[in-house]
Amino acid sequence: MLGATRRIKIQLKNFRYFSNFNVSMANLTRSGVLLIKEEVKRALERNDPVVALESTIITHGLPYPDNVKCAMDVENEIRQKGAIPATIAIMDGVIRAGLDYEQMVYIGNVEKSKPIKTSRRDFPYVIGKNMNGGTTVSGTLIVANALGIPVFATGGIGGVHREGETTFDISADLIELGRSRVAVVSSGVKSILDIPKTLEYLETQGVFVATYGLTQDFPAFYSRKSGSKAPYSVDNPTEAAKIILSSKFMNLESGMLFAVPVPEEQALDEDEIQGVIEKALEDAKKKEIRGKQITPYLLRKIWEITQGKSLHTNIALIKNNARVAAEIAVELKNLEKKAEPKSDALPRKSEGKTDGIVVIGGSNLDLCAKLECDDMKLDGRMHPSKLSYVAGGVARNICEALTKMGSSPAFITAVGDDEPGKLLLSLMPDNLKRSAHIVKGKNTAQCVIVLDSKGDCSHLLADLDIHKEITAEVLYKDDSILKNAKLIVLDANITVESMEIILKYATEHNIPVFFEPTDVVVSAKPFETSYWKSVKIITPNINELNFIASFLKLRSSEEELNSGDTKQIAEVARTVASYIDNVIVTLGSNGVLIARNAKASEPFLLGQTDKHIQVRHYPAENVENIVNVSGAGDCFASGLILSTLRELSEEKCISIGFSAAKKTLQSPFTVADDMAIENIRNWEKCAIYYSI
């Protein structure tokens, strides 16, 4: 069973039973009981309109394959109105909020999936035994309420069954409506039920009921009138949304029902369908069918008697309800945004202006130890050194350099709530502090960098576990960051799982990605994902290039690259450039080497403009008075990023990158203070290169 959502297998040791299901999304997801489709999760985190959908229509309502087609059509109706559908179901003991086509086919083929009709009472059994389940209206209400989805579309809700005064057969849908803060859009209650008693019961539960249209005539599912009146009526999505918002402001804990009559052209005659229902009820009574089996049996019997007419009506009303629900959900979000209170507090991250650069990756507190002796002896002796704390991390360095160059990058990173974290934040520019995700109980990333007397890195020790906390939740915490991206910059500190999410988003929205490999052992992470083609620029050093080429099976992992053999490096870069549009190999004091299907006079993000991959070597100019080299590569990358977005030629981009790196080489800081654009030379100069 393939799905757009990454599978999470429940481990028994992590499984938690809940005393009730009035729980938060965070608790459900942490327990492994709930898995949310990425587009649904993203919409919830961005506060975009979402419409919940039940799954018993797939598992118990319509025959296969009509059930699957109907479910997909209903989702499409919701999308066309500007909302995101979230079909709720249980698969292999995991609640799914959002299904893809393959999952719908799987659960819709009931002979194979054997789903259980799942209401509140059934959840523990279905989940505990790793079974499949189609959620009823009440079951879907529970999940929608936990997720904070305020609008739910269905065909018709359950209610008080005929002769309910003696059988006490009352649907759990009514109980759940009375305690879930969700507005249900349906064609009233199923016409096989006792509609007047159902309306009375809803009143007892404190459920707001209104018809949707110009009349208060309560619909009867297959037909537009039931003979009963609703307490209220609403005319349009705005009126409905205002009522939902008012209930939210009042903090009422009960749900709402908006009863939408079936479209007139698909409605069945009231008297005709009533006679059909009577026949179906009589047949069910003879066969002693009751409980959760009664509704699917009656619907199937009605379908047989009407020779399929009821099925067409059922599908038509479900689609219509979905359209109305989506319109209400969209209008509700519009009203909520208008009603948001103004604040004099610091602006949220999303409110700062950005120039389209989004940087995602590590922030570290670096302890730099510069040796005063010529070399380091690993025999336990003390080495006289000059020690200093600096803010580091590849992504953070790039962000700071871009900021000092006059850019306004958005930054996604993670920092611990410990003392090193406080110190790190105090060393960061204000715009970077605001964007940091503070993780309680985690160590801030720290590196010990040992520099030799010449300023070159000799040894590196690191604790970088916190970078694993840059999760999907963090990535989508602020809706405008990725949405407004023109270029995404990644370092290799984040996990492959998070990288997959980012690269998938970049692929879907046609956003180019700039990847800084960071370290040899993690340099091939993008190629472990399914969306590596969104990476358009990589900046490996020689060892990282060799590792990437080996990972891609372009050369043996046993082969090493000779740092002094430019032609050998060029050939490896040429092979890697058959995968990535722009391969920029940093050679340290020997400059950079570029492999791409384009001329030096062309910008980087034009795509492949030449038939053959060209390789060029840009030697670096000699730099005197070098103080340290720890941030030079990151500053080179920053100059490259900023000039690339300005669509400057490759020659000019490299010249600007060299100038930015030189500033930091001559500075005691990871990023020099005077990185302003007017202080960076060579914005008009073309760097000199040699073709290889």
The phi and psi torsions of 113 (rounded to 5 degrees) equal: -80, -25
Give the least confident one: 220-234, 365-379, 483-497, 578-592: 365-379
pLDDT at position 100 is 87
Higher per-residue pLDDT: 483 or 593 = 593
Integer Cα distance of 463 and 445 in angstroms: 5
Integer Cα distance of 242 and 95 in angstroms: 31
pLDDT tens profile 444-485: 988 887 877 766 677 778 888 888 888 877 777 655 678 788
Asked if residue 166 has pLDDT above 70, the reply is no
Look up 190 and say whether it is catalytic: yes
pLDDT at position 183 is 96
* Token pair belonging to 323: 């359209």
CATH 3.40.1190.20 fits 360-691, yes or no: yes
- Close Cβ partners of 52 (under 8 Å, ≥ 6 residues apart): 86, 88, 140, 143, 144, 147, 149, 151, 152, 153, 182
pLDDT at position 18 is 33
Asked if residue 269 has pLDDT above 50, the reply is yes
Asked if residue 338 has pLDDT above 90, the reply is no
Label residue 578 by pLDDT band (50, 70, 90).
Answer: very high
Label residue 532 by pLDDT band (50, 70, 90).
Answer: very high
Label residue 229 by pLDDT band (50, 70, 90).
Answer: very high
The phi and psi torsions of 342 (rounded to 5 degrees) equal: -75, 150
pLDDT tens profile 6-18: 332 332 233 333 3
Annotated catalytic residue, options 37, 41, 81, 190 = 190
* Token pair belonging to 145: 């309420």
pLDDT tens profile 597-619: 999 999 998 877 778 899 999 99
pLDDT at position 515 is 97
Give the least confident one: 22-26, 254-258, 416-420, 422-426: 22-26
The phi and psi torsions of 538 (rounded to 5 degrees) equal: -125, 150
pLDDT at position 350 is 35
Integer Cα distance of 530 and 535 in angstroms: 11
Integer Cα distance of 67 and 79 in angstroms: 19
Asked if residue 19 has pLDDT above 60, the reply is no
pLDDT at position 344 is 34
Annotated catalytic residue, options 39, 45, 54, 651 = 54
Integer Cα distance of 17 and 404 in angstroms: 52
Q: Which residues of 567-598 are buried (b: 16+ CB within 10 A; e: fewer)?
A: eebbbbbbbbbebbbbbbbbbeebbbbbbbbb
* Dihedral angle of Cα 639, 644, 646, 648, to the nearest 10 degrees: 100
Integer Cα distance of 605 and 487 in angstroms: 10
- How large is the C-alpha radius of gyration of the chain? 31
Higher per-residue pLDDT: 558 or 444 = 444
pLDDT tens profile 52-104: 999 998 998 788 888 999 999 999 899 888 899 999 999 999 999 999 888 99
Residues of the chain with CATH 3.40.1790.10: 14-149, 157-335
Label residue 488 by pLDDT band (50, 70, 90).
Answer: very high
Mean pLDDT of 227-240: 93
> Against a cut of 0.75, is the pTM above it?
no
Among the four given CATH numbers 3.30.9.10, 3.30.365.10, 3.40.1190.20, 3.40.1790.10, the one describing domain 157-335: 3.40.1790.10
Label residue 163 by pLDDT band (50, 70, 90).
Answer: low
Look up 54 and say whether it is catalytic: yes
Higher per-residue pLDDT: 444 or 351 = 444
Integer Cα distance of 550 and 540 in angstroms: 13
Higher per-residue pLDDT: 267 or 569 = 569
Asked if residue 563 has pLDDT above 90, the reply is no
What is the CA angle 544-545-550, rounded to 5?
95
pLDDT tens profile 417-443: 889 888 888 888 777 777 788 888 889
Give the least confident one: 156-170, 270-284, 332-346, 396-410: 332-346
Among the four given CATH numbers 3.10.129.10, 3.40.1790.10, 3.40.50.800, 1.10.3720.10, the one describing domain 14-149: 3.40.1790.10
Asked if residue 128 has pLDDT above 90, the reply is yes
Percent of the chain topping pLDDT 70 = 89
Q: At what angle do helices 270-286 and 294-305 cross, to 10 degrees?
A: 130
Asked if residue 564 has pLDDT above 50, the reply is yes
* Token pair belonging to 390: 């600096």
The mean pLDDT of the chain is 84
pLDDT tens profile 283-326: 777 777 766 666 667 667 776 777 767 788 888 999 999 999 99
Asked if residue 219 has pLDDT above 80, the reply is yes
Asked if residue 191 has pLDDT above 60, the reply is yes
Asked if residue 39 has pLDDT above 60, the reply is yes
pLDDT at position 654 is 94
Mean pLDDT of 253-282: 82
* Highest mean pLDDT, choosing among 406-415, 527-536, 630-639: 527-536
Integer Cα distance of 334 and 343 in angstroms: 19
Q: Is 34 helix (H, G, I), strand (E, B) or coil?
A: strand
Asked if residue 146 has pLDDT above 70, the reply is yes
